[in-house]
């Protein structure tokens, strides 16, 4: 047990999928895993452990934004010894060729600030994903026929962004999508020598304004969960 995770030692698998939304953790675990058991409900941030193709896996909500994700990832790594962490979430598309429903595999994550800023101070550390996970995720996405883009994302601290100019610069520099967690996940994985990746479904588009209809969100989310699971155990 940690401050924020009620699971007993051994209740958490070495591989953890991290949706922001705890109810997505419940849905993904009940849909894709067998022998599922609830391992955490502290603060309603649900976590489940089960089996996928003979492998133990935990799906744990991370909450929204990097400060929340940082709490869960620190405890998962330092107290439960988690080795592979894959964020599964949504992002806003930033390039014309990145369409709603596509999947973005985040090779790097740019940010204005992260919870680790106090360590790096004036240094611009580049948070980047684990290569073996990127490679396996792309292979799994291709096998499913999901349109997939690999490249940089922007991990923002705000959903309701007042800095239109900043988004313009991100678009200009080829950033594929905006979300709110990947950069700190990659930094923590680097600090502790673990593997991390973010696999993201494009749920809306910043320039076209298109958004995934509510009734199609589950299906797109499911594709992403399957890609993340395949990547975790094929790498």
Site residues (vs ligand HPA, CB under 6 A): 90-92, 156, 159, 178-180, 203-204, 206
Least distance (Å) from ligand HPA to the CB of residue 132? 26
How far from each other are the two terminal CA atoms of the chain, in whole angstroms?
Answer: 29
Measured CA angle at 185 (ends 181, 188), to 5 deg: 145
Is the CB of 41 or the CB of 204 nearer to ligand HPA? 204
Which residue, 235, 55, 233, 15, is CA-closest to 135? 235
Is the CB of 83 or the CB of 217 nearer to ligand HPA? 217
Is the CB of 8 or the CB of 163 nearer to ligand HPA? 163
Closest CB to ligand HPA: residue number: 92
Is residue 174 within 8 A of residue 95, CB to CB? The reply is: yes
Q: Is 161 among the residues known to form the active site?
A: no
Least distance (Å) from ligand HPA to the CB of residue 157? 9
Is residue 76 within 8 A of residue 60, CB to CB? The reply is: yes
Is residue 155 within 8 A of residue 77, CB to CB? The reply is: no
Is residue 75 within 8 A of residue 7, CB to CB? The reply is: no
Least distance (Å) from ligand HPA to the CB of residue 187? 18
Least distance (Å) from ligand HPA to the CB of residue 89? 7
Query: One of 11, 157, 204, 234 is an active-site residue; which one?
Result: 204
Is the CB of 68 or the CB of 203 nearer to ligand HPA? 203
| CA–CA separation, 106 and 22 (whole Å) | 22
Please list the active-site residues.
Answer: 204
């Amino acid at each position: 047990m940690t401050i924020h995770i009620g699971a007993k030692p051994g209740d958490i698998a070495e591989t953890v999928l991290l949706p922001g939304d705890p109810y997505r953790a419940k849905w993904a675990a009940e849909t894709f895993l067998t022998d599922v058991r609830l391992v955490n409900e502290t603060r309603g941030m649900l976590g489940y452990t089960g089996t996928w193709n003979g492998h133990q896996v935990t799906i744990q909500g991370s909450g929204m934004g990097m400060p929340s994700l940082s709490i869960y990832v620190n405890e998962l790594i330092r107290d439960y010894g988690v080795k592979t962490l894959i964020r599964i979430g949504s992002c806003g598309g930033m390039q014309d060729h990145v369409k709603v429903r596509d999947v973005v595999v985040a090779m790097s994550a740019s940010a204005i600030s992260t919870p680790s800023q106090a360590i790096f101070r004036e240094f611009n550390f580049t948070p980047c994903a684990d290569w073996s996970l990127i490679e396996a995720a792309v292979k799994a996405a291709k096998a499913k026929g999901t349109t997939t883009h690999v490249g940089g994302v922007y991990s923002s601290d705000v959903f309701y962004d007042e800095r239109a100019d900043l988004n313009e610069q991100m678009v200009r520099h080829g950033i594929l999508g905006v979300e709110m967690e990947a950069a700190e996940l990659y930094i923590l994985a680097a600090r502790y020598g673990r593997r991390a990746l973010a696999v993201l479904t494009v749920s809306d588009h910043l320039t076209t304004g298109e958004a995934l209809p509510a009734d199609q969100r589950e299906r797109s989310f499911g594709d992403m969960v399957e890609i993340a699971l395949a990547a975790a155990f094929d790498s």
